[in-house]
Structure 1
Amino acid sequence: MKKTLVWLLCCCAVLPAAGQPYTLEACRTAAAEHNRTLRSARFEVDAARQTRREAFTFYFPQLSATGGLFQAQHGVVQADFGMSVPVLGDLEFPISVVKRGVVGGISAVQPVFAGLKIVNANKLARLGEEVGRLQLEKSEAEVREQTDAYFWQVVALRDRLETVAAVERQLTEIHRQVAVAVDAGLVTTNDLLRVELRQQETASDRLKVENGLRVSKMLLARHIGVELRGFDVDAAGAANPEAPGTYYVSTEEALDRRAEYLLAEKNVEAQKYRKRIERGKRLPTVGVGAGYLYYNVLDKGVDDGVVFAQVSVPISDWWGGAHALRKARIEEQRAENERMQAREMLEVEIEKTWSELQEAYAQIGIMQRSVTSATENLRQNRSFYEAGTAPLSDLLDAQTLYTKSRNDLIAAWAAYRTSLARYLRVTGR
């Protein structure tokens, strides 16, 4: 109960009030609480817990009760009773008894030795619960990564929308200047048409970005399980991430944290338990028990108690048991091979993601220099155009380069944040 209250208080502290935009941390918290993939994973953990509790009951005595009554058309016991009577001689009389009756009983059998099947089944059930928790951790990491990707996609599209607005303002000013020049007879209407064509292209870009932003918000809202109406994000509190070196961990350390590799190890362990269970099927089982029996078949109730011991030897199972046991050993070897393969592939994934993260960070520096150059190029061409030393086409080309460099920088920042989220996931953080 205390843990639940603490969790609710933490959620109330992180989640925004109604109508307020969601920060990245608020989106992560909402996804952890409402995401349907995580809900399904928690259901799997609960089901595995019940399986483990069910397996524990096999240690207890197995109780069974039975009862019944019968009514026969003729007596169940029929015989001829012979006797010798003086004068009459030997006579035979038919006897028919037990035409109806009631029987019932209850018994309890405590397993003493079951070929270690119960012990290994309980270990396998506990392992299944651990696997469920690891699957939940894996799902949590994937949902967190996807949350970050959707969040930064929304932020990037919103920044692109701001770039479109800045370009629209620039084109409006250029259009005003060209219109004045046309009225003064300094340039032809062809230049004005060029500016208007560029404005139409910008309007088309705005429409595409607005539609993409709306869809991205819908994806994020559905992903974190919140209402779409009034939903927005707030990236003001999200500081620019540091250089990749701050987040680096060795491959060996990362493998020990990866749920995928731990699941591969658990699979090997599970196959060992299954092999032991298969071996136990060919071993004798021993049990002791007690019972109570009641029957009434001759209009007289009889009850009695009984204690017993039983031994069961599965002789016929030995014929195919050797092959089943070999199959279990092969499955164990296959699980070990899959574990090694998973380790190798995860190592490659970690190194590949690290390289992509470094590349994404380097792209930010390149794009920042491109924005600086494009900004200066636009300033110079605007000055040249206003001085009449450069044509309008050069100004419009400079404005296009400026727009492209701004969009590329926005995409580079979003790609770096997305790559960082992926790297944190593949390193088990």
Structure 2
Amino acid sequence: MKRIFVWAVGMCAVCGTVSAQLTLEECYRAARENYPLVRQFDLIERTKDFTVENAAKGYFPQLSFSGKASYQSDVTKMPFSIPGVEFGLDNDQYQLVLELNQTVWDGGVVRNRKEEARAKSDVQKGQLEVNLYALNDRVNQLFFGMLLIDAQLAQNALLQAQLARNHGQVSACMQQGVANQADLDAVAVEQLNARQTESELRVNRKAYAEVLGLLTGRKGIDAERLVKPSVTVEPLEENRRPELSLYESQRQQLSVQEKGLTARYMPKLGVFAQGAYGDPGLNMLKGGFEPYYIAGVRLSWNISDLYTRKNDKRLLAASRDDIDVQEAVFRLNNRMETAQQWRTVEKIDTLMKNDDELIRLRTNIRKSAEAKVANGTLTVTEMLREVTAEDQAKQTKALHEIQRLQALYDIKYTMNH
């Protein structure tokens, strides 16, 4: 019954009467949804849709209007003359033209522009995912910091319960003449120290909760009970970090740009129709304003793009090599960080092997000290030293448990398991 009572005191010290629970996964999800940067996903998608839609309009008929007025120093003249007939043209000429162009084949330019818009969108989303993924590490630090404080509060409650029993024991010893007021005061001092530690821990927990609340957009986190997560991580699991997807998206973007180089120097085929009103008209020998039209097929080929094509491809190859280097550096750093994190887990596992035995021995020593105080063969100060040592052993075990759990989640974060 005493053990049940002490356990209940410890749990109440941490949880109070609140039944609300908060998991680490809920914090991940809330932090992502609450972070202002997440709204850029919609902006990127809308920008891509607008760009693709605009590119598709490259196949729409293109209508243009132009006008021209000119004065020429000389005009076309007949090499012969006919008496009574004049064929001379005016030196001033005027023209209004409405032209309709329809692309038949553009060498793949429009299609490439659509692909470039989608590839650019994928790169932007990939970079955004990398930025948002970093939130998980911040959540981990805050969440496990609060878990550690909760464990310390639970142990502090057990310590206060133990000191309360010691206070009653010393009071009984005073009545029997084997202890004095100074001994009782020594226990009271330790009780005050324990209560001060509790107050400090609660202030620290509230500070952690406030920051986590700002990050996740949740209110009242300080009143919620954190659920200790369970995790299993295999040493050889595949790396699924968003940075790797970003590198792949960047390579895909370069491939699309390389296709664009080919599309740029391909010939273009289209049809056109012109309706005009000018002086002179198509009949150069007839003066005055006249309407006319022209329709036909147009083939154009801008070979000047070939001048820079080789260097453009070299630039794309250099960019691709740069991405390869960045990925290689990231993977190397990632492997080194993961190896160090696994060594941390192994070190904690080694330390935890002795935690239970240390607690058992410290508990036996503390009980023996209490018995000696009751018999008058040990001072209260010496007994309190053993009580503190037992408490420290239990706190160390709680610390190791949280540290190991956090180390495993650090590995999950590093590899995105």
TM-score normalized by the length of structure 1: 0.70
Instruction: Quickly say closer, same or farther: Cα 1:77–1:67, change in 2 above 3 A.
Output: closer
Tell me what 1:406 maps to.
394
- Counterparts of 1:326 and 1:78, CA distance in 2: 49
Counterpart secondary structure, 1:290: strand
1:217 maps onto 2:217 in alignment: no
Contact 2:109 2:260 in 1 (8 A): yes
- Counterparts of 2:183 and 2:177, CA distance in 1: 12
Deviation at 1:188, TM superposition (A): 5.0
Tell me what 1:357 maps to.
345
Instruction: Quickly say closer, same or farther: Cα 1:378–1:53, change in 2 above 3 A.
Output: farther
1:311 maps onto 2:300 in alignment: yes
Instruction: Quickly say closer, same or farther: Cα 1:129–1:365, change in 2 above 3 A.
Output: farther
Tell me what 2:23 maps to.
24
Tell me what 2:403 maps to.
415
CA deviation map 1:99-130 (0-9, x unaligned): xx99563534426244x554444444333444
Deviation at 1:309, TM superposition (A): 1.4
Tell me what 1:34 maps to.
33
1:261 aligns with one of 244, 247, 264: 244
CA deviation map 1:202-248 (0-9, x unaligned): 2331122001111222233333322237751352xx57x37xxx531
Contact 1:145 1:421 in 2 (8 A): no
Contact 2:126 2:249 in 1 (8 A): no
- Counterparts of 2:266 and 2:250, CA distance in 1: 28
Contact 1:55 1:125 in 2 (8 A): no
CA deviation map 1:354-403 (0-9, x unaligned): 33334444444443333333333322222222222222222221222222
- Counterparts of 2:213 and 2:127, CA distance in 1: 24
1:331 aligns with one of 299, 319, 335: 319
* Amino acid paired to 2:246: L
Deviation at 1:254, TM superposition (A): 0.8
Tell me what 1:110 maps to.
103
**Residues paired across the two proteins, number:** 377
- Counterparts of 1:149 and 1:162, CA distance in 2: 20
Contact 1:123 1:273 in 2 (8 A): yes
Tell me what 1:11 maps to.
none
* Amino acid paired to 2:34: N
CA deviation map 1:111-169 (0-9, x unaligned): 6244x554444444333444455556656655455545533432332232222222223
- Counterparts of 2:346 and 2:292, CA distance in 1: 84
Matches within 5 A, 1:23-422: 23-24=22-23, 27-28=26-27, 30-31=29-30, 34-36=33-35, 39-40=38-39, 42-43=41-42, 46-47=45-46, 49-50=48-49, 53-54=52-53, 57=56, 60-61=59-60, 63-66=62-65, 103=96, 105=98, 107-110=100-103, 112-114=105-107, 117-132=109-124, 134-135=126-127, 138=130, 142-144=134-136, 146-178=138-170, 186-187=178-179, 189-228=181-220, 231-235=223-227, 241=230, 246-250=232-236, 253-255=237-239, 257-278=240-261, 281=264, 283-293=265-275, 295=277, 302=291, 304=293, 306-315=295-304, 322-422=310-410
For structure 1, the residue ranges without an aligned partner over 5 or more in a row are 1-18, 80-94
Please provide the CA RMSD for this pair: 4.1
Contact 1:175 1:196 in 2 (8 A): yes
Structure 1 stretch 391-400 or stretch 29-38: which is displaced more? Answer: 29-38
Instruction: Quickly say closer, same or farther: Cα 1:306–1:224, change in 2 above 3 A.
Output: same
Instruction: Quickly say closer, same or farther: Cα 1:279–1:259, change in 2 above 3 A.
Output: same
Deviation at 1:39, TM superposition (A): 1.9
Contact 1:48 1:132 in 2 (8 A): no
Tell me what 2:15 maps to.
none
Counterpart secondary structure, 1:110: strand
Deviation at 1:40, TM superposition (A): 4.1
* Amino acid paired to 1:384: K
Counterpart secondary structure, 1:248: coil
Contact 1:221 1:231 in 2 (8 A): no
Instruction: Quickly say closer, same or farther: Cα 1:178–1:338, change in 2 above 3 A.
Output: same
Contact 2:32 2:135 in 1 (8 A): no
- Counterparts of 2:326 and 2:169, CA distance in 1: 69
CA deviation map 1:20-42 (0-9, x unaligned): 61331672475276331672463
Contact 2:28 2:139 in 1 (8 A): no
Contact 1:27 1:147 in 2 (8 A): no
- Between the two proteins, what is the percent identity of the paired residues? 13
CA deviation map 1:9-54 (0-9, x unaligned): xxxxxxxxxx861331672475276331672463465257437734
Contact 1:150 1:220 in 2 (8 A): yes
